[in-house]
Amino acid sequence: MLHRRSSPLSRRALLVLSVACVPALPAAQPAHAQATPGQAAPTRASTAHHGASRRPAASPAPAAEQIMTTARRTRSEQSVGHLEMQRILPGINPVKALEILPGVVFENADPWGNNEQNSSLFIHGFNQNQLGFTLDGVPLGDQAYGNFNGLSPQRAAISENIAAANVSTGAGALGTASTSNLGGTLEFLTQDPSRRAGGQLAQTFGSWSTFRTFARIDTGDFGNGNSAYVSWARQDARAWDFAGHQGGNQVNAKFVHQSDNDRITGFFDWSDKVEPNEDGIVEPNGGSLYVRPFMYPNLQEAVSYYDNSPAYKAAGLNYRNYYSDAQREDFLSYVKWSHDFSASLHWDNLFYYHHDLGEGVVAGPITAAGLPTLFSAYFPTYSASQLSQVFGGSGMATRTTEYWDNRGGLTSTLRYQRGHHHIELGGWYERNNNTQARRWYPFDINNPTTPYERQQGALIDQYTNYFYTNTWTTHLQDSWQISPHVTLNAGFKSELVYTNGILPVAGLPGSLSPRTAATVPGGTIAATRPFLPAFGALWNLTPHEQWFANIQENMRAFQATGYGNATPWGVTSQQAFEDFKNHGEPETAWTYETGLRTNRPVDLGPLTHISGQLEYYHVHFSNRLLAVSSSPNLASIVGSATILTNVGSVSTDGMDLSFTAQFGPHFSFYNALSYNKSVYNDNYANGTTVVHTAGRNVAGVPDWTEKFVASANWGDVSAQFIGDVIGKRYATYTNDLSAGAYALFSLNAGYMIHFIPHVRGLKVQGNITNLTGTRGWSTLNISNASGQYTAFPIAPRMYFLTLSANF
C-alpha cells in the first residue's frame, strides 16, 4: 500500500524510469528547491535517511509503476521500489532486486537470493563487507556470514514490507550509520501503515515444493494520527540439489503516530530461519562436478560413503558432507521520534536494539583432512575406532560456529536551514557485545541430528571469543545554494571505533591448522579517523539536464571476529597482535564520481520519453587487509590460521550508463551497461613467497555487466522480460583461473482482477527464473592460493505462481 503515503522518493527523484506510461513529469527542479544535495528537498520533514514522510498527504499516486528512480544528489543514488521488487519475484531478497541497477553485481545459488552462505555482492569493486547497510536508518552491519554486528536485510524486514531499496554506488551520505562503507551504501525503507483499514494475503507456489505465505493486517487511521500494521511470512522450499528445506517464519509490526510537529514510529521484527546450505565445488575439477549435494536424510548412505569407500577417497576436497545449515534467530526493534521546532529546524532521533542467536553447522566425516590431528589434541590416547565411538559410532562429527550478539544504539540529527545554507549535525553511538565460539558435537548413529535443530552437549569447546565494541560517529555538513541553479556542499565525518576482544576459551596446542597455530588473548584496538571529508556540487544545466560531482573519504573499522578471519584478533600469536595494534592501519578509500542526468519528453515517432544517467568514477583504496591462509588447501570444515596482511592498495576506474526509453503509454525499455576496472597495485608476501598480484584484476569483479528490463503494461495486464549478463571474473588473486561469462533471463507476467466482492484487487502473477536453463558459476569463494577456488552453481530454471489479494 505504498501509494497511500507520501513517498520520499517522489520528492527527491530527478529521473523516473518507468515500466509503463511516464506522465508529464516535472522538469528538474532548480537548485534553490533543494536544501542539501545530500538530502531530500526541504519540506518540513525531510526523510532521506529515515524513510517516512512527516506529512501524510503530499503527492498524488504515481500514474505508472517505476523500475528505478534516480535521486537529485551530488552523488549517484538510485532506487528500486516495492512494486518492481515483487514483480521480479514475490518474497525476493531486496538486495537481489538491486542487481538490475548499474554497477551492482549480486550472486546467489538461490532464486530469491536468500541463502547467505553462498551470497556475493560487489559494487564498484567493493564487496558486501566493505559497504554500508541500513534499514530505516538502523545499522545492519557489514553482512558477514559469520554474524558479529548486524543482520541481512531479508532478516531485518519481510520482503513484502519493503517500500524501496536505495543504492549509493560511489559513496553514501555522511550520516549513514555504518563503519564498513568504504564504497557505497544500501538503504532499505519499510512501508508505513496504510491510512485505510484492510489486509493483504499472498500465496506463492512453485518449483521444488515452494510454499510461501504472506499476510498483513492494517488498522488504518484509528484516531489522533495513529496507524499500525502487523504481518507474518512463512517460506518453505526444497533446495534444488539436495533434500533439505530452506525457509522459516518472520513477523513484522509497525506503528506510526503523526501530529503537527511530531512523528513517532515504532518497528519490530522477529525472524527465525534455517537454511541448509549448498556445498561449493572446489575448482578446477575437470568439469566432472556441477553440484555436490548433501546426503541428508540418507544416513546409511553417508555411513557407507565415509567408511573408507573408494568414492570418498577419490573425492578429495569435493567430498560430500552429510548436511550443512545456517540457523539464525533475530529480534530487531526501533523507536523513532522526529520533531519540528520550526519550519527551518528539525530534529530526528532513532533508538534501536538487535539480538541475534545464530549457529552455522556442518555434519561430516571425522576423517576429513586435518580433523584426526585436531581430535588427537583433545583425545591423545584414543585410537581411530575409539574416537569413532566417542563421536557416536557414525564416523561423523558435527561442527558448529555459534553466534550471540546484543547491540543497541541511537542516532540523532539536527537539520537547520538559514538563508541559502542547509546545515546538518548528527551523531551515532552503538554498543555491541558479541560472542563467537567453535564447538564439536557427537553424531550418534542411534539418535542422529537434523539440520533443523540446535546442537546440545558439546564434546569439544575449541575456542570462544568475546568482543565489546563502542562506536562513535559524528558528522557536520553545509549545503550552500550559491545560485538558483548551482549548489555546493562540504562536510566531514568523525569515526571512532574501540573494540576489546578477549579469549575465555583458547584452542589447545596442536588443535588448530597448522599445529603451531594458536588462538590469542587479544586486547583493545581502536580504529579512528577524526576527519573524513566530503565535497560535492550540483548544477542544473537545463530544465532537463543536471551535472553532479562528489569527492569523499571513508574508513572501514576492523571486524570484531576471531581465529581464521581477516581481523587483528585472528592472528596466531600475541606478539603479532601487539605488533598490529601498534603499527596496523584500517582500510580507507577516496571516492571520486561525476556524471550527467537527463529526463525529458521527446517526439521521435514511437519514442515519447527518455531519461538516464552517465557516471564516471575513480576509487583509490588503501591498506587493503587480507587474511592470508597458512593452509589454503585444507577443506573448509577444518579452518586454518590466517596472517593478517596489509597487501597495499587498489585502483578502480569505471563508468555506468543507464537509461529508460518510453514508447507511448504501454511499452518501455530499461538498460544498464557498466564497465569496471579494479586493479591491485602491489605484490604481497606469503611467508617467504612473493605473490605477484600487482597489475592483476581484483578477483570476483567482472569488467562488464549488462542488465535490461523490457516492460509492457496494458490495463490490468503487465509483463516483463529481464536480462542480466555478467562478464568473466577472475577467481584467484593472481588471475590464473577464471569463471566464464554468463547470461540469465527471467519472465514475469501478471493480471489484476477487479469487481470481486469485499476484495479490492486480486492479482495472479507467474514468474520463470533462469529462463534458458543456463549453467555456470554464481558466487566465487576467492582463494589466495594459485590453482584453485570454490564456486557455487547457478540455480536451474524454476516456475512460480503467486495469488495476492488486497482487502
What is the tens place of the pLDDT at every residue in 667-717? 999 999 999 999 999 999 887 889 999 999 999 999 999 999 999 999 999
Least confident of 92-96, 625-629, 736-740: 625-629
CA quadruple 121, 127, 133, 139: dihedral, nearest 10:
130
Q: Is the pLDDT of residue 606 over 70?
A: yes
What are the cell numbers at 571?
A: 592472528
Number of neighbouring beta carbons within 10 Å of residue 339: 15
Q: Is the pLDDT of residue 46 over 80?
A: no
Q: Give 636's pLDDT tier (boundaries 50, 70, 90).
A: low
What are the cell numbers at 58?
A: 503530499
In the chain, the percentage of residues whose pLDDT exceeds 90 is 82
Query: Whole-number mean pLDDT of the chain?
Result: 90
Tabulate helix, strand, coil % of the chain (nearest 5): 10, 50, 40
Of residues 640 and 433, more confidently modeled: 433
Q: Which residues pair with 400 in a beta bridge?
A: 361, 439
The pLDDT of 626-647, averaged and rounded, is 75
Report phi then psi at 317, rounded to 5.
-70, -15
Q: Which of 175, 186, 203 is nearest to 140 (CA)?
A: 186
Give the pLDDT score at 5. Answer: 38
Give the pLDDT score at 629. Answer: 75
Give the pLDDT score at 631. Answer: 63
C-beta separation of 280 from 310 below 8 A: no
Q: Is the pLDDT of residue 635 over 80?
A: no
Give the pLDDT score at 187. Answer: 98
C-beta separation of 678 from 103 below 8 A: no
Q: Tell me how far CA of residue 492 lies from CA of 37, 49, 55, in angstroms.
A: 15, 17, 30
Q: Tell me: the pLDDT tens digits for 761-802?
A: 999 999 999 999 999 999 999 876 678 899 999 999 999 999
Going from N- to C-terminal start, the domains of the chain cover 2-806
Give the pLDDT score at 516. Answer: 86
| Three-state secondary-structure class, residue 734 | coil
Give the pLDDT score at 71. Answer: 82
Number of neighbouring beta carbons within 10 Å of residue 270: 16
CATH of domain 2-806: 2.40.170.20
The pLDDT of 542-556, averaged and rounded, is 97
C-beta separation of 553 from 534 below 8 A: yes
Query: Can you tell me the distance from the alpha carbon of 124 to that of 102, in angstroms, rounded to the nearest whole number?
Result: 10
Give the pLDDT score at 33. Answer: 33
The pLDDT of 507-528, averaged and rounded, is 92
Q: Give 13's pLDDT tier (boundaries 50, 70, 90).
A: very low
The pLDDT of 736-764, averaged and rounded, is 96
Give first-to-last CA distance, the chain, whole Å. Answer: 11
Q: Is the pLDDT of residue 445 over 80?
A: yes
Helices H / strands E in the chain, number of each: 9, 41
What are the cell numbers at 111?
A: 532464486
Q: Tell me how far CA of residue 496 lies from CA of 11, 16, 265, in angstroms.
A: 34, 38, 29
Q: Is the pLDDT of residue 36 over 90?
A: no
Q: Is the pLDDT of residue 334 over 60?
A: yes
Q: Give 324's pLDDT tier (boundaries 50, 70, 90).
A: very high
The answer for 25, left when phi > 0, alpha when psi is -120 to 50, beta otherwise, is beta
Is 382 exposed, middle or buried, given 0-12, 13-18 or 19+ CB atoms closer than 10 A? Answer: middle
Q: Is the pLDDT of residue 523 over 90?
A: yes
Q: Give 621's pLDDT tier (boundaries 50, 70, 90).
A: very high
The C-alpha angle with vertex 290 and arms to 286 and 296, in degrees rounded to 5, equals 130
Q: Give 53's pLDDT tier (boundaries 50, 70, 90).
A: very low
Q: Is the pLDDT of residue 294 over 90?
A: yes
Quote the pTM value.
0.92
DSSP state letter for 28? P
